[in-house]
Amino acid sequence: MKQALEHIKVVDLTRVLAGPWATQILADMGARVIKIERPGAGDDLRGWGPPFLKNAHGEETTDAAYFLSTNRGKESVTLDISSAEGQEIVRQLAKDADVLVENYKVGTLARFGLDYESLRKINPRLVYCSVTGFGQTGPHAHLPGYDYIFQGMGGLMSITGLPDAEPGGGPLKTGIPITDVVTGIYASTAILGALEHRNLSGEGQAIDISLLDCLVNVTGCAVMNYFLSGRIPQRLGNTHSNMVPYQVFRCKEGDVIVAVGNDTQFVTFAGLI
């Protein structure tokens, strides 16, 4: 079966998680993704182990599980983009590319002549997506940041975990790097929108994706609860701020999740117990 993005070429200048997650989604839909890594260590995520992939002889490679989970279906090339030769190779790749995704600190690629304004001159149809912690503008634009930082800054850790007064209570991060994952999803969605815009107008465009913006956006239910009630959302453990019962109950044979989403379901549930 023909995949939706088989005709799309993506230059992937991202590393760690949010950017690679976005380009992996595009690869899953059939896009040709060319991942560019620095000489030597490559993507930092390769070293985020153990565990590491083992070769046919049972020996550990340098590819950690984290790296494998975010770079499925991609081609890979090593380039030193700080060198004139490396920069020229990126330009040649970008000349007929549909998409370029990068997650360098603001201003880094401009120093190398690889920013959107430079590359659009050789490819006006290019969709150029920048993924950063705080966006391209603003007082914190120049700062880097990891998923964990934005879980705290974006408010997620203030509503995740047990209440402060309970044993073990306090701020709690999620079990997966949720900020990176949702940022990758938002980035890939924005890229698809920009490609459709290009289909209609013939023009590419720049996309500015911020980890902090994406994390705040996914806390929208809690934010709207505050806007309507004036009450600051709190950590409630495994209970729900708006529905009951919607929680974990400890039973003789193990923990049981009971999730009742409306009054009709509650009548049925009450009849069962």
Domain boundaries, the chain: 9-218, 239-273
Inform me whether the pLDDT recorded for 18 exceeds 90: yes
CATH fold of 9-218:
Rossmann fold (3.40.50)
233 has a pLDDT exceeding 90:
yes
| Residues 6 or more apart whose Cβ sits within 8 Å of residue 58 | none
pLDDT of residue 273: 87
pLDDT, average across residues 215-221: 96
pTM for this model (two decimals): 0.93
d(CA 237, CA 235): 6
Average pLDDT over residues 168-190: 97
CA 32 to chain centre: 19
Tell me the average pLDDT of the chain: 96
Region 25-41 average pLDDT: 97
Using pLDDT thresholds of 50, 70 and 90, give the confidence band for residue 1. Answer: confident
Amino acid, res. 253: E
- What pLDDT, on a 0 to 100 scale, did the predictor assign at position 266? 95
**CA distance linking residue 100 with residue 231, whole number of Å:** 43
Helices (H), 158-177: none
| Catalytic center residues | 180
The pLDDT, as a whole number, for residue 259 is: 96
Alpha-carbon distances of 266 from 35, 141, 192, 250, rounded to whole Å = 51, 48, 41, 20
Closest to 179 (Cα-Cα) out of 138, 233, 133, 241: 133
Residue 104 DSSP label: P
Q: Give the model's pLDDT for residue 269.
A: 93
d(CA 74, CA 51): 21
Mean pLDDT value of segment 173-188: 98
Please tell me the predicted confidence (pLDDT) of residue 102. Answer: 99
Distance CA 83, CA 113 (A): 11
